[in-house]
Amino acid sequence: PSTQSRHGIIKYDPKIHTFNFERQLSLDIQRAMNENELFIVYQPKVHPEQNSVVGIEALMRWKHPVYGIISPAVFIPILENANRISDVTDWLIERVCQQLAAWTNIGIELPQISINIPGMYLTSPRLNKVINRSLLKYKIQASKIELEITETSVIHDIHNAISAVRTFREKGLSVALDDFGTGLSSLSYLKEIPISTIKIDKSFIDGVPNSAKDASILKSIIHLCYSLDLNVLVEGVETKEQVQFIMGLEKVPIVQGYYYSKPLTVEEYEQWWKKRKEVGEQNGEISIG
């Protein structure tokens, strides 16, 4: 049902476009997985004082032949709606474990890789099986894997989320609470859920250090997390001033953000790693690209 204008050009109809786009993506996802249209980039997590990499986060990208590069912020919710998210997450887990094993083989040691787990898949028994299978297949210790779950997904089904997280922690995996502070939730669930790390959302660092209020909110959140005995990571750190602010804190959290590195392809990450190794972890500004 397209509308033709006077000039014979098909008018853009956002409703039809959205419907077709979403439907098309859910039809294309299997091909995308098979033919490497879907791929993974990795973003380092850095200890700013020791200047060491404590882990990397796996982030998906989709290079679609018609739509170009599609952000996961766009395609993940679409695949969730279309009930295709478990297939994609299974694919992701398998690939990440395979990559970790490959890096270990060539001497690139990594303390940990983090995988984003969508809320609706977290509590599925299938997730547990898929993780077990990949750990076994690639001979990976559970402690090498961290699952990132969002506050929103936890609140959605708090009871089952808690028991899923407990199962994974008992197995030795780490579990991080992602985008912390954006879920408009009460903080009471924090003492119930056995997570290992809190990732403080980028929105809390954006105004730092210029805004005194933002700085004091960030400080208080970090303090709260440490007082609950959790590891703390600040995401979306982009500037030197932000890093300096963080380094000035009594207890310095882990950071992740463009200041240290954007998410990198496998090849880029290997170069980044080699460069860092050459420069030496103790005396170094880290530079990439």
Nearer to Mg ion, 28 or 147 (CB): 147
**Residue 90 contact among ligand C2E, Mg ion, none, beta carbon within 5 to 8 Å by kind:** none
| DSSP track, 56-97 | EEEEEEEEETTTEEE-HHHHHHHHHHTT-HHHHHHHHHHHHH
The token duo for 286 is 């880290």
Query: Whole-number minimum distance, CB 107 to ligand C2E, in Å?
Result: 26
Nearest to 102 by CA among 146, 139, 148, 129: 139
Bridge partners (DSSP) listed for residue 56:
44, 113
59 forms part of the interface with ligand C2E (CB under 6 A) = yes
Site map for Mg ion, 138-157, x if CB under 5 A?
A: ----------x---------
Ranges of beta strands (E only) in the chain are 38-47, 52-64, 68-70, 113-116, 145-150, 174-180, 197-200, 231-235, 254-256
73 forms part of the interface with ligand C2E (CB under 6 A) = yes
179 forms part of the interface with Mg ion (CB under 5 A) = yes
Name which of residues 101 to 140 contact Mg ion (CB under 5 A).
116
Nearer to ligand C2E, 112 or 116 (CB): 116
Nearer to Mg ion, 89 or 116 (CB): 116
Nearer to ligand C2E, 144 or 257 (CB): 257
Nearer to ligand C2E, 145 or 237 (CB): 237
Cα 52 to Cα 44, 58, 213, 279, distances in angstroms? 10, 18, 30, 12
76 forms part of the interface with ligand C2E (CB under 6 A) = yes
The token duo for 145 is 């894997």
Distance CA 84, CA 75 (A): 11
Are 174 and 145 in contact by the 8 Å Cβ rule? The answer is yes
Residues in touch with ligand C2E (CB under 6 A): 43, 58-60, 71-73, 76, 92, 116, 118, 148, 178-179, 235-238, 256-258, 263
Q: Which residues of the shown chain bind Mg ion in the complex (CB under 5 A)?
A: 116, 148, 178-179, 199, 235
